[in-house]
Structure 1
C-alpha cells in the first residue's frame, strides 16, 4: 500500500538523492491522482508544486512514466495535446513523473519530482521509490 509512511520515505530519499542537484520538490500521489504528501527543499520555487503534481498526475492517469509520455508526445503531438485538454492541462509529459508499482506490477500511484533536469528529477524519484520497497517506472 502506498500510504503516508511510504510517501514520507519516498520524499526523504528522493530529496537525499538530489542533494547535489538544484533544490527539488517532490509530490506523491495515490492511484486516483490524489496528493498523499508534498515537500520542497529550501530554495525551491513555490510554483514547483504544480509542476511536480502535473508530472505525477500524467503518469498515474495515463499509466505510463514521464519518459514514455515524452516519447509519445514527440511521435504523436496531437494526441498528447488532446489529452492535455481532457485532463484540463493537469499533465506534463516529461521525465520526472514516475509510476509506483507493487511487486505484481500493479499501479499504486506516482511520484513527481521537479527542480533539476527532467532526467535527474526522474533519478531522484526512482531512488525514493526503491527506498520505500516499490518498483518505479520512469
Structure 2
C-alpha cells in the first residue's frame, strides 16, 4: 500500500471511536489525511464540542509537516518556541502542536498519511489514534 484509501481511512476512524468508547472517553473527533495533508475522511461523535475538526486536522497536519507524530511538536513548542511559532505562521495557523496526531507508516516505513484526534486529553487522543492505525495493520509514529 502506498496511499490510504477511503476504506482504510474509515476503518481507522471506526477503530479509534470504538477504542474511545471502550475507555469511556469524552466524544472524539477523528481526521485522516493523506501524505500531502489532504483530508480523506472525518467523523465526530455526538456531543463533540466546536472546533474539534480544526484541532484534529491540525494535529494530523502538524505531524505531516514535521515528519513525526505531534508529540514531538509538543516538546518542540516548549524547547524551540520560535520554531513552532514560525511553523504556525507559514502553515496559516493550521498546526496544533499537542499529542494526538500520529503519522501512518507503511511496511517500508514510508509516510502514508496521518490521523488526528481531539476530544479527550491529548494523551488519550493519541492512544486512540495509535491503536486505530495498528488495528488496520499499519505502523503508528507518535513522535
TM bucket by the smaller chain? over 0.9
Aligned partner of 2:87 in structure 1 is 83
1:127 and 2:127 are equivalent in the alignment = no
The 2-side partners of 1:62 and 1:108 are apart by 14
Task: List 4+ stretches of structure 1 deviating above 2 A.
Answer: none
Question: TM-score normalized by structure 1?
Answer: 0.98
- The alpha carbon displacement at 1:114 in A equals 0.3
- Tell me which of 42, 46, 53 is aligned to 2:46: 42
CA RMSD of aligned residues (A): 0.7
- Cα offset for 1:46? 3.4
Q: Which runs of 5+ in 1 are unaligned?
A: none
The one of 88, 97, 103 equivalent to 1:93 is 97
Partner residue of 1:29?
33
Q: For 1:118, which of 115, 122, 141 is the aligned residue?
A: 122
Equivalent position of 1:6 in the other structure = 8
Residues 6-42 of structure 1: CA deviation (Å, up to 9, x unaligned): 1011000000011110000000000000000000011
Q: CA deviation at 1:73?
A: 1.2
| Count of residue correspondences | 138
Q: 2:139 & 2:49 partners in 1: Cα distance? A: 29
- C-alpha separation in 1, matches of 2:58 and 2:92: 11
TM-score (normalised: structure 2): 0.94
The 1-side partners of 2:37 and 2:136 are apart by 19
Determine the C-alpha separation between the residues in 2 that align with 1:124 and 1:93: 17
